Amino acid sequence: MSFRHRASAWDRRYSPYLYISPFFILFAVVGLFPLIYTGWVAAHDWDLIMGQGEFIGGENFAAVLGERAFWVSLRNTLSIFILSSAPQVVAAILIAYLLDYNLRAKTFWRMGVLIPYVVTPVAVALIFSNLFGDRFGLVNSILEAVGIDAIGWHSGILPSHLAIATMVNFRWIGYNALIFLAAMQAVPRDLYEAAEIDGAGKVRQFISVTIPNLRPTIIFVIITSTIGGLQIFDEPRMFDQYGRGGTDGQWQTMTMYLYELGWTRSDFGQASAVAVLLFLLIIAIGLVNFVITRRISSSEVKR
């Protein structure tokens, strides 16, 4: 073969890889390398000022797992994640279903649900931290007006988690609702017409037609909300003026604990160990979500 023919064959064989290479190069630089480097730091006695020390293997992981603060932060992270993710998905689907109707000024309503997402997390945290104030908060004022005792939103564990989960839901429900709305508009209208002819009402159409066709989108939203929910930092950090997660770590999340180890204690080794453990936790929960959704899909296919 001539060089021209060989070059043409190489072009057909290798040019597709060249076209997609920018993504993988960028991912390797900003994603894969930091992940590997974090694991390297976690295996060393790494100080903020002195830098890399000696190799200590898994001592950083043992030290972190032996601290009560780590388990408290893990409890807080999972609690806030559960209180925010499940209601967030359900509310987003219901709002998207309402927006799917032929409403007047539907563009206005669709843009309106996106406004909380545009607001910066710091502004949202400052507003809600005052709304859930222990002494002069609006929420406690309303509760006292209806005869309910004021709640210590900053002193209790569950109340603080509910307040932070409310912030998260306020920011992300509208964003996820638009994702579900786009998926609902892709559902063939013939299915709704056929269901209506068969005598199915609106609720039955929603359960039997809308939800099954939203399954891939629901899986996507659950995975993204899992990653974001377990990495929550801004809302609990700004929930009070000190940013330490409470006097006894009532709402200190794993990312806040990581931040404390790295910048307050200047121990990058233990901070990196927490980052690796958080990564493994996200992977584990993601695999659980994948297995559950796959079993649900396979059971429905069999039926």
Task: Give tens-digit pLDDT for 237-276.
Answer: 888 888 888 888 889 999 999 999 888 888 889 999 999 9
CB 159 within 8 A of CB 152: yes
Model confidence at 301: pLDDT above 60:
no
**Quick one: tokens of 269?**
């080794």
Task: Kindly tell me the number of DSSP H helices and DSSP E strands found in the chain.
Answer: 16, 0
What is the predicted pLDDT for the residue at 12? 81
Provide DSSP, 235-296. HHHTSSSS-SSSTT-TT--HHHHHHIIIIIS-BHHHHHHHHHHHHHHHHHHHHHHHHHHHHH
Model confidence at 2: pLDDT above 80:
no
Domain ranges of the chain: 1-42, 61-302
Classify the C-alpha dihedral 231-234-235-237 as positive or negative.
positive
Alpha-carbon span 160 to 151, nearest angstrom: 10
CATH of domain 61-302: 1.10.3720.10
3-state SS class at 51: strand
Alpha-carbon span 260 to 292, nearest angstrom: 35
